[in-house]
Amino acid sequence: MKRIFILLNAMLIAVAAGFARSDGSELPESVQKTLQNCIWLMDNGMAQSAMEDFDRLDKEYPDNYVVQYERMYALYQLGRYDEVVKVAKKLFKNKDVTPLVYHIYGNALDDMGKAAKARKIYSEGLKRFPDAGMLCLELGIMDMKAQKYNDALAQFERGMVATPSFASNYYRAAQILLSSDNKTWGLVYAEAAILLAPGNADRHRELAVGICDTWKDVLSFKTENDTVKAKVTLVASRKVSVGEDGQSAFLAFPGIFEGCAIVAAQKAIGQLYPFQCSIAQLAALRKGIVETYFSVTDNLYGNSMYLLPFQKSVIDAGHWDAYNFFLFRNVCPDEFSAWYAENSDKFDAFIDWYNADPFILDASRTVSSIEIFRDYRKISLFESFFIQAGLLTDAKNKKEE
């Protein structure tokens, strides 16, 4: 079985979080080799074995940023937090300082039980490096621990804007929102987090289970006069704001998504009822949502809601089933095994396709409630009425008449 190819070495993780990490290339070659060996030891849980070399390098290169930073990280792994603080304060004066120093320093303070000081350090780091999504993450986690979930969510979404490619902010936001009354953004953030870090197996499974459990909760059926009707309840209320011209409407994304889900569920009712949340059923429902969205709204939010254009690209490439079996394979392992036995070529073809053109978020392709109206296309109040009523296709047909 082919796997999605992800380079998750320390350097790339740091860059993805908005942190540039020096490579020590200005050091003599022999020192570089020693340093790389120390880093390897740290990455494999043997920081103590690296400390003799680190302490020697500390004396020989007291002003070298990469030596001092890597030694500080080793000290953090060993729980020698007082020493971490001393090195961090020294590194703050270095011209090559990065947000990673604020991150490790703040973590050390938090682990020492000095939460208020840790928050101050993270906040100072964000003032100096406003694109450091990892620092937003740490502030959000602190708010989560204090059960200040709205504040935490605000930090995570701020981090999405600061560093769109950093998966952990989407993961944490999904944890909060999938347990809330308005679950649409939870579904979106969960899938984005999986795609941005598909190599993280534990989080992948947790988020996939969260997506499945959400659809079990929000999709229901009732029978009226021997006719089965689908119901989807993703949001507490639908919101419409009238534009300044008095003729156009601005529609909140969760309501649009729910409307598309209602139409999709009703169209695919023969496949969805009774709903057991199988991978095949999820694929049918989710495909219907994407197709409904693009057939009626003409990509209403553009690439400020990039998950939907990405999903459409998967459908257009002919990989939709394989994509859903990839997403939910650990939720329904027996179903996946049976499907894979007959479709391994399709699964491998999807992996090859994805590796060639992966899901990437940046300043122009975003997935966050903060950015959602950036590429918004104005629609008429006539359209908005039918969209909010869940009668999207009828509205389009009547307008064309």
Quick one: what percent of the chain has pLDDT higher than 90?
77
Q: How far is CA 18 from the centre of its chain?
A: 15
Tokens 């953004």, located at residue: 185
**pLDDT at res. 242:** 64
Q: Is the pLDDT of residue 396 over 60?
A: no
User: Does residue 275 contact residue 253 with C-beta atoms inside 8 Å?
Assistant: no
Q: Is 290 exposed, middle or buried (0-12, 13-18, 19+ CB in 10 A)?
A: buried
**Banded model confidence at residue 381, pLDDT cuts 50, 70, 90:** low
- One-letter amino acid of 55: D
pLDDT band for position 135 (50/70/90)?
Answer: very high
Q: What is the pTM of this model?
A: 0.88
283-318, pLDDT tens digit by residue?
A: 999 999 999 999 877 788 999 999 999 999 999 999
Instruction: Supply 290's token pair.
Output: 């994407």
For tokens 């986690």, the residue is 141
Q: Which domains does the chain have, with CATH numbers?
A: 10-208 (1.25.40.10), 212-400 (no CATH)
Q: What is the pLDDT of residue 297?
A: 75
pLDDT of residue 255: 87
Classify strands 240-242 and 379-380 as parallel, antiparallel or unpaired: unpaired
Which of 82-86, 198-202, 396-400: highest mean pLDDT?
Answer: 82-86
- Range of weakest confidence among 202-216, 238-252, 335-349: 238-252
How far apart are the C-alpha atoms of 162 and 40, rounded to whole Å?
A: 30
Q: What is the pLDDT of residue 6?
A: 46
Please state the length of the chain.
Answer: 401
Mean pLDDT, all residues of the chain: 89
The pLDDT of 311-326, averaged and rounded, is 98
Q: How much is the pLDDT for 203?
A: 97
- Looking at residue 244, its pLDDT comes to 61
Angstrom distance (rounded) from CA 322 to CA 319: 5
The encoded tokens of residue 199 equal 């190599």
67 touches 51 (CB < 8 A): no
Calpha distance 396→401 (Å, rounded): 9
> Is 209 a residue whose pLDDT tops 80?
yes
The confidence score (pLDDT) of residue 24 equals: 59
As a whole number, mean pLDDT of residues 2-27 equals 51
Give pLDDT, residue 9: 35
In the predicted structure, residue 75 carries a pLDDT above the cut 50: yes
What pLDDT is recorded for position 378? 72
* Long-range contact pairs involving 213-219 (C-beta distance under 8 Å, separation at least 24): 213/178, 214/178, 214/183, 214/186, 214/187, 215/275, 215/277, 215/282, 215/285, 216/275, 216/277, 217/183, 218/183, 219/261, 219/265, 219/272, 219/275, 219/285
- Per-residue pLDDT, 394: 42
Contact assessment for residue 50 and residue 42, using Cβ atoms and an 8 Å cutoff: yes
53, 281, 313, 323 from 348: Cα distances, Å: 44, 22, 17, 10
Amino acid 337: pLDDT = 98
Name the pLDDT band for 252 (thresholds 50, 70, 90). confident
395-398: long-range pairs with CB below 8 Å, 24+: 395/296, 396/295, 396/296
5 has pLDDT over 80: no
Q: Nearest-CA neighbor of 379 among 252, 258, 213?
A: 252
pLDDT exceeds 50 at position 25: yes
- Residue 258, pLDDT > 80, answer yes
Residue 219 token pair = 């999709």
> What average pLDDT does this structure show over 366-393?
72
The pLDDT confidence band at residue 182, using thresholds 50, 70 and 90, is confident
**What pLDDT, on the 0 to 100 scale, is given for residue 395?**
39
Contact 88, 108 (CB under 8 A): yes
Predicted local confidence at residue 298, as pLDDT:
79
Task: Categorize the per-residue pLDDT at 166 as very low, low, confident or very high, splitting at 50, 70 and 90.
Answer: very high
Least confident range from 38-42, 126-130, 312-316, 376-380: namely 376-380
Q: Do 287 and 320 contact (CB within 8 A), yes or no?
A: yes
Mean pLDDT of 3-28: 51
